[in-house]
Amino acid sequence: MRRESRQGGPQILHGAIVAGLDDLTREATGIVVGRVVGHVCRWNSERTMIHTYVTFAVRETLKGPKETRVTIRVVGGRIPGEEVRLSVSHQPQFNAGDEGIVFIDDDPRLHTSVVGSQQGFLRFERRGPNRTLVRDGFGRPISSVSSRNRLIVGRKRRMTADTLVSRVGQLVR
The ranges assigned to domains in the chain are: 12-172
> Which sign does the torsion angle of CA 69, 136, 116, 85 carry?
negative
- Strand residues in 18-120 grouped as ranges (E): 30-43, 50-63, 69-75, 77-78, 85-86, 99-104
Interval 52-67 mean pLDDT: 97
User: Is the predicted pLDDT of residue 68 greater than 70, yes or no?
Assistant: yes
Q: Which amino acid is present at 10? A: P
Q: What is the pLDDT of residue 107?
A: 86
Angle, alpha carbons 63-67-71 (nearest 5°): 90
Q: What is the pLDDT of residue 5?
A: 39
Q: What is the pLDDT of residue 31?
A: 97
Q: Grade residue 67 by pLDDT with cuts at 50, 70 and 90.
A: very high
- Helix (H) / strand (E) element for 24: namely helix 21-27
Of the chain, the percentage scoring pLDDT greater than 70 comes to: 90
Q: What is the pLDDT of residue 18?
A: 65
Interval 51-71 mean pLDDT: 97
Residue 31: name the closest of 2, 6, 67 by CA. 67
For residue 30, list its beta bridge partners: 104
Mean pLDDT of the chain: 87
CATH 2.40.50 fits 12-172, yes or no: yes
Angle, alpha carbons 163-60-168 (nearest 5°): 40
Cβ atoms of residues 24 and 120 within 8 Å: yes
> Could you give the CA distance from residue 11 to residue 15 in angstroms, rounded to a whole number?
10
CA 25 to chain centre: 11
User: Is the predicted pLDDT of residue 11 greater than 50, yes or no?
Assistant: yes
User: Is the predicted pLDDT of residue 69 greater than 90, yes or no?
Assistant: yes
Burial level of 4, CB count in 10 A (0-12/13-18/19+)? middle
Q: What is the pLDDT of residue 112?
A: 87
